[in-house]
Structure 1
């Protein structure tokens, strides 16, 4: 399953700047979002969470907003569209770099979706529009969020932004993308190979975010981490306080839960609120979506964000 590009939307008032521009030259179109990083604990971050993005403990993050504007796609060399199949609709994950040392444990992500490009060096989200000019990837001036992260990750964000802004050469060999530009060379692999979609059944899933309306919140620190396992029509779970289980049926992208039973242990406040949020989602039929190691369960205006525990 190819993930959709998520270009979040935060207004300039929340601190967005265009890469390579000073504050006085910021343009009106704005973009925002949250990306994997290490924000200050307990902070509240405007933006949109994406697959793989976990809000800091105790934070609440809005999930809606507008996306930045940009020019329509322009033809590439020879009159052909500038968005060929090797890039369009694909997300690539870093596997190595030359001229820059990638932060241990981090992953650079670049997503091409139609005219849009989204990227992250492991902290902030970058967004713009793109086209191809011969063997060069041309990226319009980029916007980025301004979350506070560990200094090495912020430096990696800057290096990535500079590389993309330099109109790097690109080469695709099978599922491997290589970009070479100012500051070095970045090698990436298609996410479908590097980090394929996990199966719903047989995977242990951990809840790391609670969805309510237009907000996504992390699981309260005082609650246990809820978990789910789906196996042959039977679901077993821990809802943050009590253990439970029961039958379910799959129909395309929907899961219909039957009568679920749980233990009846008394819960502390945080555990109790987490239990309530989890059980509200498991009422009747829910839709599910899997992207790489992320599972999202949605039931009306409530839902759960889960990660594969592997």
Structure 2
């Protein structure tokens, strides 16, 4: 991530006359020198018309977005309520504050620079920084459950994971190990004939088990961006997962 004091601007980046280059793109913090993030974290911003989704290492944040010339106007920021380390939660707070300071934006191909009065944040398109992981053979770990437009964090102690390959899916909900058939189409996965091996869990983890297995049957849409996998059912229920290290 590059966050530096806002001195001379420099560089050849040009401010576009409209915001069309932002939409439906995800940018992650660059790896060059500057403010150090908490180890193992990156800033991630996803732009769609009217909305920005953000991550800084803990919660999934969303806010309303308007573009006024060379300014991003972000309001009504909210998100999940995951319990993280104080360092990660402080980083969330910092990013929320930064985005709500009406940062100037400059987009040059795959590089996005956001600038406030005090800070400068340089990001790159995720497809340049983090090529899409393959669906098959990647170990995917659950980060949040999706219900329509809202997302909720997983309980502490949960270890939900999925692996696809050779027409199969296998994994664990923490309480249940499972495997079954998985037919991959164009942007869809059809899961069937799951066999399960359950074990006793705490009530909170058993509730999670039921929700995960309820989302992992029939036809599911999938989308991969960088190291993130989104699984979504037709009824709006889904899961957000990240490739495990």
Contact 2:72 2:102 in 1 (8 A): no
CA contact (8 A) 1:296 1:303 kept: yes
Q: Say yes or no: does 1:145 pair with 2:83.
A: no
SS in 2 for 1:279: helix
Q: How many residues align?
A: 219
Check whether the contact 1:96–1:186 (CA below 8 A) recurs between aligned residues: no
Counterpart of 1:282 (choices 198, 216, 219) is 216
Corresponding position: 1:83 with 2:15: no
Q: Which has the higher strand share?
A: 2
Alpha-carbon contact 2:77-2:96 (below 8 Å) kept = no
Contact residue 145 and residue 151 of structure 2 kept, 8 A: yes
8 Å CA contact 1:207, 1:227 repeated in 2: yes
Write out per-residue CA displacement over residues 22-64 of structure 1, whole angstroms, 9 at most, x where no aligned residue.
xxxxxxxxxxxxxxxxxxxxxxxxxxxxxxxxxxxxxxxxxxx
- Compute the displacement of 1:229 (Å): 0.6
Residue deviations 1:239-289, cap 9 Å, x none?
222222122211212211232212254444334333322222233222222
1:125 offset after TM fit, Å? 4.4
Quick one: structure 1 residues 266 and 253, their matched pair in 2 at CA, closer, same or farther if it must change by over 3 Å? same
After TM superposition, the structure 1 = structure 2 runs for residues 34-183 of structure 1, keeping only pairs within 5 Å, are 82-83=18-19, 85=21, 87-95=22-30, 101-105=35-39, 106-114=41-49, 116=50, 118=52, 120=54, 122=56, 125-132=62-69, 137-140=70-73, 142-145=74-77, 150-151=89-90, 153-162=92-101, 164=103, 168=104, 170=106, 172=108, 174-180=109-115, 182-183=117-118
Indicate how the Cα distance of structure 1 residues 295 and 161 shifts in structure 2: closer, same or farther if over 3 A, else same.
same
Change (3 A) 1:144 1:249: same
Q: Which residue of 2 aligns with 1:229?
A: 163
Q: Is the 1:254–1:287 contact (alpha carbons within 8 Å) kept by the matching residues of 2?
A: yes
In the TM superposition, what whole-angstrom CA distance separates every residue of 1:284-310 from its partner, at most 9, and x where no partner exists?
222222233222323343433322112
Structure 2 residue ranges without an equivalent (≥5)? 1-14
CA RMSD of aligned residues (A): 3.5
Cα distance between partner residues in 2 of 1:216 and 1:237: 22
Q: Determine if the alignment matches structure 1 residue 245 to structure 2 residue 182.
A: no
Match of 1:262 among 179, 193, 196: 196
What TM-score do the two structures reach when normalised by structure 1?
0.57
2:229 & 2:90 partners in 1: Cα distance?
30
Greater gyration radius: 1
Counterpart residue number, 2:8: none
Shift of residue 175 of structure 1? 2.1
Identify unmatched segments of 5+ residues in structure 1: 1-76
- C-alpha change, 1:250 and 1:162, in structure 2 (3 Å) is same
